[in-house]
Amino acid sequence: MLQAIIFDYDGTISKTMERQYKWFQYWWNHEINKEKVKGRDFPYKNFKSFMEMFNEKINHVDWVQNVYNFLGLSSDLKDLNHPVWVNYRNFCLEHPSNLYPGIKQAIKEIWEMGRLSKNPDFNTSLRLGINTNSSWEVVYNDLQKYNLLKYFDSFVTEETLHKFYGEGDFNAIRKPSNISLALAMGFLGSEGAFTLHVGDTLSDLIASKNIIRLNSGHPENLISVGVTWGYESAVEGKERARSVLEGGIEVSGQKRIYFDYVIDNPLELVEIVKKYMKE
Ligand SMILES: [Mg+2]
């Protein structure tokens, strides 16, 4: 019986990449970057061209910092006192991100399906969690706006991950990682084989596999669902996203891995959950 569903946030529930585009335009024109941009216009005239650059640059060890560096904008993500942090936070709070069409209905239907029923073997409700690098303050604000907060039981966010230092760096653990999912399952009280993980990138898939918690001899694998409406489709559309997600990925030391499901519409998730609720 299914115990929990862990949702990625950016690109799965929320169209946060559109906010990223607006944010980088805003930060480009901010007083703090005046000397750096020297009166030049923001170089990306449309969302698609911005995403092409963004997706390429973010795929780097420095992650979003690499985007700031490439654009020549002020940022030091390793310093929580750098003005980029408070400005980004305020910008996000003032600009709640839009949801993907159908996602609210899907979450609501899944939540309703997961309440206690006549079935005596189903004695714990289905739990829903969020796993994201974004801050809870921002995600909370978005979820409040759409009246979605009540459907979730737990979260792993930037604040949670910043509690885990690696070599003195609070950014050492980023979602999606096996560790963020291990934490999420701990908070939700679920086991890998009975947990669905829903995400929009191949990194989400990698994070779903070989999760070690208490016994390194028994790594856990989540039931993975790839969605085609997120980051992968931002540049070349859903069809291209489907072929990327269906193609799976080669992971060092493992066989090529694949999503258990790839879906094009949030309501397909309701059907997948229905199937696992019966098992
Ligand atoms: Mg995502």
Walk me through the domains of the chain, giving residue ranges and CATH numbers: 4-14+99-278 (3.40.50.1000), 16-94 (no CATH)
Write out pLDDT tens, residues 174-192.
Answer: 767 899 999 999 999 999 9
Tokens representing 69 are 């560096």
d(Cα 16, Cα 97) in Å, to the nearest integer? 6
Q: Cα(118) to centroid of ligand 1, in Å?
A: 36
pLDDT for position 252: 84
Q: Cα(240) to centroid of ligand 1, in Å?
A: 16
Strand duo 154-156 + 223-227: pairing: unpaired
Write out pLDDT tens, residues 218-245.
Answer: 999 999 999 999 988 888 899 999 999 9
Q: Cα(235) to centroid of ligand 1, in Å?
A: 15
Q: Cα(198) to centroid of ligand 1, in Å?
A: 9
pLDDT for position 170: 79
Query: Which residue positions in the chain have pLDDT lower than 70?
Result: 175
CA angle 29, 34, 36 (to 5 degrees): 105
Write out pLDDT tens, residues 250-278.
Answer: 988 878 999 999 999 999 999 999 999 98
Query: Which residues, 6+ apart, have CB-to-CB distance to 142 below 8 Å?
Result: 14, 96, 97
CB atoms within 10 A of CB 31: 7
Q: Cα(226) to centroid of ligand 1, in Å?
A: 10
- The percent of residues in the chain predicted with pLDDT above 70, rounded, is 100
Q: Cα(53) to centroid of ligand 1, in Å?
A: 17
Burial class of residue 151 (count of CB atoms within 10 Å of its CB; 0-12, 13-18, 19+): middle
Q: Cα(218) to centroid of ligand 1, in Å?
A: 27
Length in residues, the chain: 279
